[in-house]
Structure 1
Amino acid sequence: MTCIEAGADAVGCVFYPPSPRCVTEDQALEIVKALPAPAWVVGVFVNEDYSEIMGKAERCRLRAVQLHGREAPLLIDRLRRRGLKVIKALFHNGFPPLSAAASYDASAYLVECAGGPLPGGNAMIWDWSAANSLARTVPIVLAGGLNAENVS
């Protein structure tokens, strides 16, 4: 759990089979059990339906989910009503765009570039200042190509 020791508040468990970082429910539950309080696990989903997300959230004891596809605002509302924190991915060069934040009532927004073979930023470095105006109005998480050199 090096990331938690380094100061991270949460770790992500990807539940998207095409991703090389995809984990099983058993692996996610092992991670949840190993984390010290108050750290928590975020389940990462792409275009999953409500019952699939809630099933994994309950079985894996997730406190939050990150939605990285073309999910409808209604899905976010339903998940939040069940007590989950919901992080909705928005994209500088993709769909849904950063300007779509007003359409969702997410707990926070993950913002990244988009592009590449998988949903998300695919570790692409981009002009993070493009998210400045959004960051003034809602909680955001920057993503995409972040490393020790460009974060400092």
Structure 2
Amino acid sequence: MESCDWCNLSEKDKQFQVYEGRLWFVFLSDEQDYIGRCILVLKRHCNSMSEMTDDEWEELRNLVCKVETCLKAVLGATLFNWSCLMNDFYKEAAPDPHLHIHVRPRYDKPVILNGSTYTDSEFGHHYALKKSGDISPEDKEEVFIRLKEWLNR
């Protein structure tokens, strides 16, 4: 789609791509309110989950398993909040959503990166919509490297 941001990613937009499958991309989210937060983006422009093909569902299932295993292994995640909330697209006069799915890893123990400690203060509760995502650029880069290395091994 001509006007879709997800369909027209620049190389700069792809700088935090941690994995590319046949049908899906996985990106480390700009917002690291939950350490390791990622976005899975369907390569094909698609408006909703109900429009996915069998192959897209199968690869998504495999990616869910792969991403969860990765986040457990490299960051110690305990559980995961998955969401497909297409709301922002519908703020536009002519909405044209592109299917993408957020994963927020949750932690029952602090995550330590480069000497900094990150605590999931809402563990065991729904994720917070307006949680502060204060993470240093160095720590974000560390998360990116760990995820990319593990997912592409």
Please give the TM-score of this superposition, normalised by the length of structure 1: 0.29
